[in-house]
Amino acid sequence: MEPPSALSAEHALVAELLSNSVAADRRVREEAYARIVELESRPTFLATLIDVAYMSDAGVSKLAFICAKNALARIRGVSAARTTRGIAADDSDAALENLKSRLLSVLEAHLTEPGRLLCKDVALLVRKICRWNYPQSWMPMHELLVRGLEAALAEPAPSTPTLNCVLLLHHIFKEKCSMRLVRDRNATVQLAEALYPFVSKLWLQHWLHLWASGGLDAAQARSALSSTTLETSRYLDSLLIALYTHGLRDVYQRSELLDLLRLVYAKLKLHLSLVLTAPGEGSVVAKNCRRLLRGVSEMLDKEAMVFAFVDIALVLNPVFDYLASGSSEPVISQCMDVLCSAFKSPVLNNERYMAQFSAMHGDGGGARTSRKAGSEDFTIFATFSDMRAHSEMSASCAKNVTVVSALKASSSPTKGSYLSIGGVANYMSRQATFFFWECVLARGGLMALLEFLRRRFMTQSAEAIAEWSEEAVPMDAPAYAPAHALIGAMKLAGAPVLQWIMGGILGADCRADFFTLDSYLQIYTIAFPGIAGAHSCKHYLALLDAMKAALAAADPETAKLLIFRCSRIVGAWAERINLFEEQTKSELLRYLLYCLCCEGDSLTTVNLRVQHVVPFHRLYNKTVDEPFWDVLRRGTDVQRVASSLLAIAKIDVPTIQHRALELVCKMCLEFDSEENNFGEHLSDVLAFFSSGHNDLQVTASLLQTSLGFLNALDWERCYVEDSYLNAHLLRFLFHLLFRTVVVADASASYESPLSTQRMVSPCSYPELEEDVLTLWVCLLRVLPRNIAAVDSDLLNDVFRLFPLLLAYLTDSDGNRGHERLQAGCAPELAVDIVTEYVATVLDCTRAYMPDAAAAAGVAATPGGSLRENGGELWFQAPLGTSFTLAFSVSKVKTLCLESLKCANGSTLHQAGIRLLNMLVFGFGSACLEHRDALFALRELLLHFCGELNAAAVAPGDAPPELQRSRLSRLADGSSTDLGAVWQCSRVSGTVVDSISSLIPIICRWGLDAPASFTEALISVLDGGQFASPEKLLLSLLHASSHFKNNAYLRLGALICCCLMCGAVTNKYSGLRLFVQHHDVLSNPATAGSGHTTLSDNPHPNRSGVYLPCFMLRLVDSIVSQFAESKRAFCFSITKASLQKNGKDYTLPSSKRFHVFANASSTYQSAGFPMANVPAHELFYGG
């Protein structure tokens, strides 16, 4: 079937649409595309595209093939989904069948008529179809390809139809190899077995006709061989290699496959010689040479066992010959990849068998030891069957020994595991390893290979070094030398390698032969992980002396690169510094101090200082507590180091800036003493930060360093010990905060009653706002309990930010609209900062607002006062003798209520609950009598009851983790109460976590404002969401037993239960108040024991225990436990991890918040200084 000789109307329309689809006018393009998509629904559209592609110019033809591939992808998706669901065929299938039929007719012409070269676009389209349809669903295509192969075998020389057939098979099989499902892999293997007889015969015919004589040189290859012949040869090689690496199985067992593989490698040798003799001739030959080399690498990766019977020297000797004399960089790179694959292969370079080879032959300095097949030491097996027979005989002679291969499975996606051949795999690996190292030994051995690679492929050109040195302080390594990856793959180890490298480094003259020294330094850096164990103290000291001498004698043109190499070597040492001797550590420290403190402002000295910051940082972090650092404590070197690091921090290199600033801060704190006061150096850091260098990177470095300091503190000691925190550190961190927060003068319309400033932003850089807020909240939480121990001026500056932060969070550009809050943009960290400020203020005043009975909700207290100003409620309290804090309680309440409007469980909602906890504790009368606050409290009470109701799980509905828990219920006290319902006595952890933050608030509300609490609770229960209040009360009793780490919450849960019980007694006259319990029915072994999770059988009356009596027993156990405790307070500490650039920064727990929350859970009146009350008195009075 031939394409139409002239364009029909349909073909002309499609061609026009394709042209318009790339028009400059957007409207024309969109209309054309929409019309093409509409035409895709026609069953004949894809076939029409093929006709258009053959009858139009090159541009339209390209567009036609692209459109066909895109439409095919959509059709294939619909067809696959439909086939999966078992739906009958429709027009999509018809379109695909029409396309296959049209392509088949076109391809038949290409495979039978000479001179018609198949374009690559057709091959790619066929490849896309064949992924899912070939060969099972497109057998005519398979038959056509087989006929094409048979016709090619009948021809004396390659022709265009032969090239077309091989090209199609290459693309089809390449696509099949990319499929990963097991069934697809099996289909690929079957296809390979079917194609191999034809492909192998055609390859042999081509080999015997063109290449077998070996007398063809590169010039003849270009002049005597046509492009069709060379391209056919290239695609045949690619197809045959793909069959070996992705299709054919157990290649090492089949002699005919191994024989053909030897011929392939003979062809590789011929191609390498052709490219070597005439590198500028025969581009197709060079391309095919690279393809054959890639095939060797694939065989080494996927089917390395074949080299147990095919000597790897067939490949490596031509590769070594080319590397010795060749000049083509692409071919050299491919040869390096082959050697890398060989050294990485666990089959060819097996460590165990390599040691055996070395013991038998040694390196020999290049002298090859004679080896005979069948000798006592080593026997060569020519075939797999011989090796298997020998392995089985050895296994039968060894009694009670099972031979199992220790090799890993093959990495080929279509290959199986070598475990199936048992111990034979070990023999194969041994023989392959011996072949490999014999080839290396024949070339002079490992050391000769290293010297060859160093001399020829590890030297940098002067032009490359000059280009790399153009940057003022280059931090990225220069382009790797060609042999860099190969030397890394060799995994060098042992004293001989170290001695060779040391000899090269110590013997090289930096001025006369810098490139030799540079090559040895590169190899040392690559090999250090393997040769580190061979070092002694003398080696390190000799290398340090050599590096000092080289740095002193380096030319300006090469100094940067030499400094870079030396710093990377010292950095690698610092990673393993814990294994070094004390003398080596001391000398390394002196060397780094020499580099960091070198004088001068030239580019060389600047690079010397900057490049050695990272090694010094590693050394400091790993060994700061070791004695050899006393050399700094005894002298004044720290002053010089700190000054040098501050100068280095001005270099615009982010990694260096961060480490330099961190080192300055750490060293100033570590070496601070009466003789050496380094507080001024921290002031220098702040001065550097404020003098125009506070860009994004410097700010980020200082913030991360500060968070690291805070994370290393003992937070318990921060709170209870006044002098635990270093005063320099505290001043530095707060002043860093002051310089980071952006504050401006307030406008006349914005000015608050007590402030003439306003906060613009937590930080000049939005991406660092979270770090600033984290630093802020951490600093407030590490302040000592005795706040008077902190410097008064510093403390005044800290509290001056509080009103500004409140205004920033609650106002928007001076307008009292609370847009920021209503949009949910207030970070939860900012709300926590406000909570900490309120807690700190309450702790400082040592007296709190009276309860809700105070008249009008506004009353004076010894520590502060509430007053109205401008329609807002303000709190004012003196802090010390020189500062009086005033902030708007109304703004705090607004911030709290807006936060509580977020979804339950969100981080901002939890932060709002914490802030509400502080408000109801310190300003209960001001918070519990306003309608908006009461509405928010009612919503929290509704959520609280909902969680308790969710915890009331009936035995039949219990999940597996609760099915074996004890059962409890509240009954009316009679033995015949049929209305009481049993429920599991265990409560899930999510419920416990959810209600734990609400218990202090509900207790404070119920104790200070019982009328509004009762009204709200009745309203919640009358809403119809809860079946009975008994379930809620019993769930709360069960939850109280889970607060094992905080007795205040445990007692608060019982108080909350009492409050709820008292509030609903009048409403629900038939309230059941007798606790009954028994073991689960599925555990008869414990039945009748009387033990419960709530108490130790408080009463033997099986009809129930009165609820107040039951709770008194629980309270008695709590009080008895904590009356004997010597701890002042019981903290419930929770740490929240924050991920910052790979480091874990942890927020300190808020001690003040937990103190006040615990007090809210257990006290009716807060009108006295709680700080003076011993722990056990918290349970007896108040």
Beta strand ranges found along 655-705 (DSSP E): none
pLDDT-derived band at 574, boundaries 50, 70, 90: very high
Picking from 769, 842, 858, the residue whose alpha carbon sits closest to that of residue 799 is 842
At 765, list the tokens.
């850089």
How many domains is the chain built from?
A: 2
Q: What three-state secondary structure class fits 743?
A: strand
Answer yes or no: are the C-beta atoms of 737 and 775 closer than 8 Å: yes
Q: Is residue 196 part of a domain?
A: no
Q: Is residue 567 part of a domain?
A: no
Q: Is 227 left (phi over 0), alpha (psi -120 to 50) or beta?
A: alpha
| Segment among 65-69, 653-657, 1111-1115 with least mean pLDDT | 1111-1115
Count, residues in the chain: 1182
Dihedral sign, Cα of residue 187, residue 190, residue 194, residue 200:
positive
pLDDT of the residue at 1060: 87
Most confident of 232-236, 918-922, 1064-1068: 232-236
pLDDT digits (tens, 9 = 90+) for 259-282: 999 999 999 998 898 888 876 655
| DSSP secondary structure string for all residues of 3-53 | PPSS--HHHHHHHHHHHHTT-SSHHHHHHHHHHHHHHTTSTTHHHHHHHHH
pLDDT at 1098 over 50: no
Beta-ladder partners of 1138: 1145
| DSSP secondary structure string for all residues of 1144-1158 | EEEPPP-HHHHHHHH
Give all strands of the β-sheet with 865-869 in edge-to-edge order: 865-869, 872-879, 883-888
In angstroms, the CA 270 to CA 282 distance is: 13
Beta-ladder partners of 878: 884
In angstroms, the CA 688 to CA 684 distance is: 6
Which amino acid belongs to residue 408? K
Which amino acid belongs to residue 1115? V
Cβ neighbours for 500, distance < 8 A, ≥ 6 positions apart: 447, 450, 451
In angstroms, the CA 336 to CA 456 distance is: 13
- Whether omega for the bond prior to residue 135 falls within 30 degrees of 0, making it cis, is yes
Q: Is 373 exposed, middle or buried (0-12, 13-18, 19+ CB in 10 A)?
A: exposed
In angstroms, the CA 346 to CA 695 distance is: 51
At 281, list the tokens.
């001739």
Beta-ladder partners of 883: 879
pLDDT-derived band at 1116, boundaries 50, 70, 90: low
0.85 exceeded by pTM: no
pLDDT at 617 over 70: yes
Beta-ladder partners of 875: 866, 887
HEC per residue, 946-999: HHHHHHCCCHHHCCHHHCCCCEEEEECCCCCCCCCCCEECCCCHHHHHHHHCCH
pLDDT at 357 over 60: yes
pLDDT at 376 over 80: no
Average pLDDT, the chain: 79
pLDDT-derived band at 1132, boundaries 50, 70, 90: very low
Rounded average pLDDT over 911-920: 89
pLDDT of the residue at 217: 58
Distance, first Cα to last Cα, the chain: 103
Beta-ladder partners of 806: none
At 541, list the tokens.
């000291």
Rounded average pLDDT over 293-317: 93
pLDDT of the residue at 4: 52
Q: Is residue 38 part of a domain?
A: yes
Rounded average pLDDT over 809-825: 53
Long-range contacts of 593-599 (CB under 8 A, 24+ apart): 593/637, 593/641, 594/548, 595/567, 596/641, 596/644, 596/645, 596/648, 597/637, 597/640, 597/641, 597/644
**CA–CA distances in Å: residue 841 to residues 318, 945, 1156:** 83, 32, 12
> Could you tell me the residue range of the domain that residue 1006 belongs to?
928-1124
- Final residue belonging to a domain, choices 1103, 1124, 1145: 1124
Q: Is residue 224 part of a domain?
A: no
pLDDT of the residue at 749: 45
Burial 5-37 (b: 16+ CB within 10 A, else e): eebeeebeebbebbbbbeeeeeeeeeebeeebe
- Final residue belonging to a domain, choices 60, 84, 112: 112
At 81, list the tokens.
């989904």
| DSSP secondary structure string for all residues of 827-874 | -HHHHHHHHHHHHHHHHHH------TTSGGG----SS-EEEEETTEEE
pLDDT of the residue at 1154: 83
pLDDT-derived band at 672, boundaries 50, 70, 90: low
Q: Is residue 745 part of a domain?
A: no
Rounded average pLDDT over 799-818: 73
At 73, list the tokens.
């992808």
pLDDT-derived band at 989, boundaries 50, 70, 90: confident
Q: Is residue 938 part of a domain?
A: yes
Which amino acid belongs to residue 312? I
pLDDT of the residue at 1145: 66
In angstroms, the CA 28 to CA 30 distance is: 6
User: Please, how many CA atoms are within 13 Å of residue 884, restricted to the half-sphere of its CB?
Assistant: 11
Rg (CA), the chain: 42
Q: Residue with structure tokens 């905080």?
A: 1046
Which has the higher per-residue pLDDT, 609 or 639?
609
pLDDT at 788 over 50: yes
In angstroms, the CA 580 to CA 577 distance is: 5
pLDDT of the residue at 1063: 84
Q: What three-state secondary structure class fits 761?
A: strand
Answer yes or no: are the C-beta atoms of 251 and 298 closer than 8 Å: no
In angstroms, the CA 445 to CA 550 distance is: 31
pLDDT of the residue at 1066: 75
Cβ neighbours for 578, distance < 8 A, ≥ 6 positions apart: 622, 623
Helix (H) and strand (E) counts in the chain: 50, 11
pLDDT digits (tens, 9 = 90+) for 891-910: 888 889 888 888 888 888 89
pLDDT at 773 over 70: yes
pLDDT of the residue at 748: 47
Which has the higher per-residue pLDDT, 220 or 290?
290
Helix axes 182-206, 139-154, angle to 10 degrees: 20
HEC per residue, 885-945: EEEEHHHHHHHHHHHHCCCCCCHHHHHHHHHHHHHHHHCHHHHCCCHHHHHHHHHHHHHHH
Q: What percent of the chain has pLDDT over 70?
A: 78
pLDDT of the residue at 1126: 36
pLDDT of the residue at 610: 94
Q: Is residue 883 part of a domain?
A: no
**CA–CA distances in Å: residue 932 to residues 34, 803, 835:** 57, 22, 19
Give all strands of the β-sheet with 983-984 in edge-to-edge order: 983-984, 967-971, 1074-1078, 1105-1106
Rounded average pLDDT over 982-994: 82
pLDDT of the residue at 334: 95
Q: Is 905 left (phi over 0), alpha (psi -120 to 50) or beta?
A: left
pLDDT of the residue at 222: 57
Rounded average pLDDT over 456-478: 90
pLDDT-derived band at 1022, boundaries 50, 70, 90: confident
pLDDT at 636 over 70: no
Q: What three-state secondary structure class fits 1076?
A: strand
Within 10 angstroms of residue 782's Cβ, the number of other Cβ atoms is 20
- Name the strand (E) or helix (H) holding 468: helix 462-468
**CA–CA distances in Å: residue 591 to residues 541, 547, 743:** 10, 10, 45
Strands 967-971 and 1074-1078: antiparallel
Picking from 20, 51, 50, the residue whose alpha carbon sits closest to that of residue 34 is 20
Picking from 363, 348, 270, the residue whose alpha carbon sits closest to that of residue 310 is 348
- Name the strand (E) or helix (H) holding 1018: helix 1010-1021
- Final residue belonging to a domain, choices 1124, 1147, 1174: 1124
pLDDT of the residue at 286: 87
pLDDT at 187 over 80: yes
pLDDT digits (tens, 9 = 90+) for 89-113: 445 678 888 999 999 999 999 999 8
pLDDT of the residue at 419: 47
Q: Is residue 682 part of a domain?
A: no
